[in-house]
Structures are given as C-alpha cells and as structure tokens.
Amino acid sequence: MIIRQKHASLVLSGWRNLGTVLRVVLFVNLGMLLAALVTAESTRAWLYSIPDLALFVEPYLFLEVLTLWAAGPTLSKLTLPWTLAAITAVTLVCGVIVGWLTGVFFDGGTAKLLLWGLIAQALVLYYFSMRDRILSPALTEAKLQALQARIRPHFLFNSINAVMSIIRYDPKQAESALQDLADLFRTLMRDNLDLVPLASEIKLCRQYLGIEKLRLGDRLNVEWAQKAMPEDALIPPLIIQPLIENAVHHGIESSPKGGTVSINIYLIRGELRAVVKNPYNPRAREHKSGNKIALDNIRARLALHYDAEARLESVIVNEYYEVRIRLPYHPQNTDSYQPLDTINPFDEARRHKEAS
C-alpha cells in the first residue's frame, strides 16, 4: 500500500502486495471452515468434510490469486468498474478451469462451484472496502503526521547542541553548520507523506552526520557501503536518518571512546535493504528503551506505507547493535514523488559567499 494512492481501493490494485494476498488466503480458508461447520451434522463429520472441500477450494483459490498477481500491473491502471469486471471474469474462468480439472464440470457441479466463488469474491471485496474506509487516506495521513512529529523535537535538540558546542571557538564553522541545519529542517517540515528518492534521504543523513561530527569529533567514525545502492529507489522519508541518529546517540555518545557507525544499503532480489550498525553497550539502560521507541515509530510508518511487504528487525551481533530494514524496490519516476531539491535562500547565500 502506498500513501495517497489514486486507485479507489487497495484490493483492486494491490494484488502484488503480500499483505493483501495473505488476507485473501486467510479469509477464504476461514470461510471454507465456517461453511463446513454450519452444514456438518457433527464434529467428526465436519473434520471429514474439510479435505473434500479443500480439494476444490484450494486449487480455485491459488489459481485465482496467481492470476491476479500476474495481472496486477494491468489492473492498477483500470478504472473501478473495469477492475471489478476483470476480477469477476477471472473468478469465472478460474472456476471453469478448476471444475474441468476436478471433474465436477462433467457432473454438472460447475455452476455450484462458480456460485461459491462469486460469493467469496463479493465477501472479500466487501471486507477490503470496509478496511479501506477504516484506513481512509485522511486517517492514514494523520497517523503518519503524528509519527513523524515525534522525530522532530529529538532531532532539533541534538542538532542545536551540536552547533552550540562549536559556536564559541569556531563561529564560521558554526555558521556553516546552521545553514546545513536549515536545509535539514526544510526537509523535516515538508509534507512528508509521499515517497522520496533514496539519494535525497542519504543526503539528509550525511548532513546530519556532518553536524554530529562537529560535536563528537574523533569519537564518531562513519562507514558507508553504497556500491550496490540503487539511487533511483523511492522510500518513505525519514526512515534511515532516525536510525543513524539513534546509532549516534546510543552507540557513540554514551561511550567515552566513541566508535563506528556503519550504514550498508543495497538491492537484492527486488528488495531494498538497509543495515545500520553501532557499538552496543549492555550497561547503558537507556539503550533498550530509547531504541524501542524509535524502532516502533519506524515500524508503524513502514506498515502504513507497505502493509506486510516491509520489515524491520534489530539484533545484537558481536557486540554491535544492528537494525535491518527490508522493503519493496520501487524505481523513481516523475509521477510518483515530489522532488526535495527546491530553491533555498540559504543555498543561494552560500553560493554567493563562496563566489566572493
């Protein structure tokens, strides 16, 4: 699921969404068990009837799901009436094929099979229609805004502290840092509901790390692994930067010796993956609670954008704390994102100063 989708309903356009497919499979199988329970005379008869029903339901279900999966890109381009007509046609064709393969076609049972298929289709579409109303765009955007609002105060506090730490002994560097901070907050204060290019998120992360480097000095080392990173990938904004901020705060700032924050971003089998790693100090009590709040925030935002297709997990490996994100790879196109690089007076002032 992508925020601000133009289609009327996720179920009519998101047949390649893992969450949609899993819900359809679960819904139909629960319906099969309930139908068998209602018609059975006893518990034993119910248990015996399940394999017989599954012989028809499972091939029918998986054939239709696979067909809709393959037709997903085409369905997403159709209007609502044509999409409903296409799904109904797939239901009927798959029912005829399954009826022919299982032999009920020759016994005159295909009409009954098609009837149950159409009933299941109507119930599934009604379920997703109600789900779309509950998760309406307005409610979803409100949830995203609330989640993103939690990022800004903590980020502001850390960034201002970084600038204040150098403003007395290096005013010029502090001025440059304030200009970077203005750039960062220009991004933070934008309506960040659409996907943005990965390159823009990385630029934001580098600016943040530059400000933190002023405050922490040699205590902060950063390692980037970006050779396999697709810069044209589109991701939700402020997904990687809070992880890096967390790594600096809990892994570097809490340690007198400092350490290294590693960021590895790469593409594999159609998935975009990001791994942020920092030293782990088991004695730091705030590490677990602080990380949990940040990770729960990002996990909720990923769920709102991608449903079950994205995943975030954290592990401790060899005295390092790792956070791993997996999400679908969506390449950049001009219609699906709003560019972040707009005219900024601070950029103009900086270029004028450098030229002089």
pLDDT grade, residue 38 (50/70/90)? Answer: confident
Would you call 289 exposed, middle or buried from its count of C-beta atoms within 10 A (0-12, 13-18, 19+)?
A: exposed
**With 70 as the cut, is the pLDDT of residue 40 above it?**
yes
Identify whether residues 163 and 308 lie together within a single domain.
yes
* Same domain, yes or no: 89 and 227: no
Report which DSSP code applies to 327. Answer: E
pLDDT in tens, 270-289: 889 999 999 987 766 554 55
Same domain, 346 and 283: yes
Same domain, yes or no: 195 and 301: yes
DSSP per-residue letters across 264-319: EEEEETTEEEEEEEEE--TT-HHHHHHHHHHHHHHHHHHHHHHGGG-EEEEEEETT
Is 5 a domain residue? no
| Among the listed residues 143, 149, 145, 84, the one whose alpha carbon sits nearest the alpha carbon of residue 118 | 84
Give the residues across from 264 on adjacent strands. Answer: 225, 275
Q: How far is CA 329 from CA 168, 187, 225, 233, 263, in A?
A: 45, 22, 18, 6, 18
81 and 149 part of one domain? no
Q: Tell me whether strands 311-317 and 259-268 are parallel, antiparallel or unpaired.
A: unpaired
Given a cut of 70, whether residue 312 has pLDDT beyond it is yes
The CATH code of the domain that includes 211 is 3.30.565.10
Instruction: Specify whether 348 is located in the same domain as 219.
Output: yes
Verify that 18 and 91 share a domain, yes or no: yes
Query: Are 102 and 169 members of one domain?
Result: no
Residue 196 β-bridge partners: 235
Give the pairing of strands 271-279 and 320-328: antiparallel
Residue 270, domain member (yes or no): yes
Domain match, 160 and 66 both: no
Phi, psi angle pair for 103, to nearest 5°: 95, -10
Domain C-terminal end among 78, 107, 135: 135
Tens digit of each residue's pLDDT (9 = 90 or more) over 114-165: 888 888 888 888 877 777 666 555 445 555 555 555 555 666 676 677 777 7
**Residue 346 above 50 pLDDT?**
no
Supply the range of the domain harboring residue 127. Answer: 10-135
Judgement on whether residues 153 and 244 belong to the same structural domain of the protein: yes
Where does a domain end: 135, 162, 188?
135
Query: 90 and 121 share a domain?
Result: yes
Domain end position, chosen among 87, 105, 135: 135
187 and 118 both lie in a single domain: no
The reply to whether 272 falls in a domain is yes
